[in-house]
Homo-oligomer: A and B are copies of this chain.
Amino acid sequence: MKYSKKERQKLLKQTIEDNPFITDDQLATKFNVSVQTIRLDRMELSIPELRERIKDVAAHNFENEVKTLPLDEIIGEIIDIELDERALSIFDVTEDHVFQRNNIARGHHLFAQANSLAVAVIDDDLALTVKSTLSFTRPVHAGDRVIAKATVTSRDDNNRTFVSVTSTVNGTTVFTGDFEMYRTKGKGE
């Protein structure tokens, strides 16, 4: 389907906001235009190229934001975080993370990224996973970049915080996890 330039640029902006890690190639395929057209669109919209977008977020240091654990204990790289609200991380799957036989990423690596993020998003000194429900919806392979989004969905009076994590590769959901987290304190205490 072809869009008008105006429609395309509006959708392009929205698409990149939803998935900042989408490549120009992927955008060209999605909008059925040349890569050159996407580049021109980005210039007109003042959206930096992917490499710059990644550099921007990587330059930000989340050491002060994350309270529950040191950054080096997080599986994947935190790209955005708003405590007790949401968090985003990327995890690049390598040969080290897959089954030798079929090149499919092992479930515990996807779980580790999601679980780390569910811990990191909690605005507390201590957060422990109590229960978790996982779905592995699509196989992930070496070379894939997994983007996990954690959303705090609710809290109860029993020191529990509920976090939903959705992990995608190129915009396709590959994993979802619901986490019931235990924390010691209330918000802002």
Contacts and interface: CB of A to CB of B under 8 A. Distances in A.
B136 A129 contact: yes
Q: How large is the interface on A (under 10, 10 to 19, 20 to 34, 35 or more residues)?
A: 20 to 34
Given A102-B126, A107-B132, A133-B133, 12 more contacts: A69-B99, A69-B100, A70-B100, A73-B99, A106-B112, A106-B115, A108-B112, A128-B136, A130-B135, A132-B132, A132-B133, A134-B134
Nearest to A135: B131
A116 B101 CA distance: 14
A111 interface: yes
Contact of A107 (B107, B125, B129, B136): B129
The residue among A99, A126, A139 with the most chain B CB atoms within 10 A of its own CB is A99
Interface string A46-74: 00000000000000000000000110010
A75 interface: yes
Nearest to A70: B100
Centre residue among A104, A107, A133 by max chain B CB count within 10 A: A107
Contacts of A116: 108
Contacts of A129: 107, 134, 136
Contacts of A101: 69-70, 125-126
